[in-house]
Amino acid sequence: MTGTLGGALEARGISAGGGRLRSEITGEVELDGKTLVLKRIHAHYILQVDEDADRDAIDRVLDFHADKCPVARSIRDAIDITTSIELADVEPE
């Protein structure tokens, strides 16, 4: 999902390469009978942006990117997937 998000951002002129886009993924597991089953995944993204970044475009991409991700589409009927994004200033070099 991170790659799909990054590619969609880049296509809109929002730099996501070079370590600007990171993700923290958490999963929630529940016991189903005697078997542990992954039920929920949350992807929290951290994107370093310039102050002139198109934040509306970032929000739009976040809203649809999971629907374009092959992995997310493959598992979405069995596992609830949520996402969030945190925008941070680009770190000075």
pLDDT at 5 over 90: yes
The mean pLDDT value of the chain amounts to 94
Average pLDDT for residues 63-92, to the nearest whole number? 92
Q: What CATH number corresponds to the domain at position 75?
A: 3.30.300.20
CA-to-CA distance for 73 and 55, rounded, in angstroms? 25
Predicted TM-score (pTM) of this structure: 0.89
Cα 14-61-4 angle, rounded to 5 deg: 85
Structural domain count of the chain: 1
CB 80 within 8 A of CB 51: no
Structural domain that includes position 66: 2-89
CA-to-CA distance for 44 and 46, rounded, in angstroms? 7
Nearest Cα residue to 1 out of 77, 61, 71? 71
Average pLDDT for residues 46-55, to the nearest whole number? 92
